[in-house]
Amino acid sequence: MLPRKRTLCPLRGIVKDIGPSSHKSKIVELYLKGYTSTEIQRSTRHSLQSIERYIKDFSRVSILTQREESIDNIRLIVGISERLVKEYQELFIKYKDGDYKQRVEELIDNITVYDLPMSFKKNAGMRM
């Protein structure tokens, strides 16, 4: 039997030259620069729900960063990866002052860090 020949498939990030940052932080950056969620939706083909979630997560990371929470705590509280926390922190530091300061402050003022826990029915689906 002949050995299989391996073929390497190029990753989307390499082909599109996306670099190390995620599409989520790019979408948040567009929002910080003044684009509306609808404009971002049209240009990125992401759902409005996803865009709003990215913006909400960025806002929470920003608040927790201001409170000097550790990256691990932020990751656990917001429910996102460590890499994304760091990307959002970089955006926050980059845009918290200067031309986009007001936009960042609006996001921080209009968000809560902790949502109420989801409610579950007691013993739902469990037999004892």
Exposure string over 108-121, b if 16+ CB within 10 A, otherwise e = beeeeeeeeeeeee
Q: What is the pLDDT of residues 17-27, one digit of tens each?
A: 445 568 999 99
Model pTM score:
0.72
Residue range 54-103, pLDDT digits in tens: 999 999 999 999 999 999 999 999 999 999 999 999 999 999 998 999 99
Give the mean pLDDT of the chain: 81
Report angle CA 10, 14, 15 to the nearest 5 degrees. 75
Contacts of residue 6, defined as CB under 8 A and 6 or more positions apart, other chains included, come to none
- The domain locations on the chain are 18-109
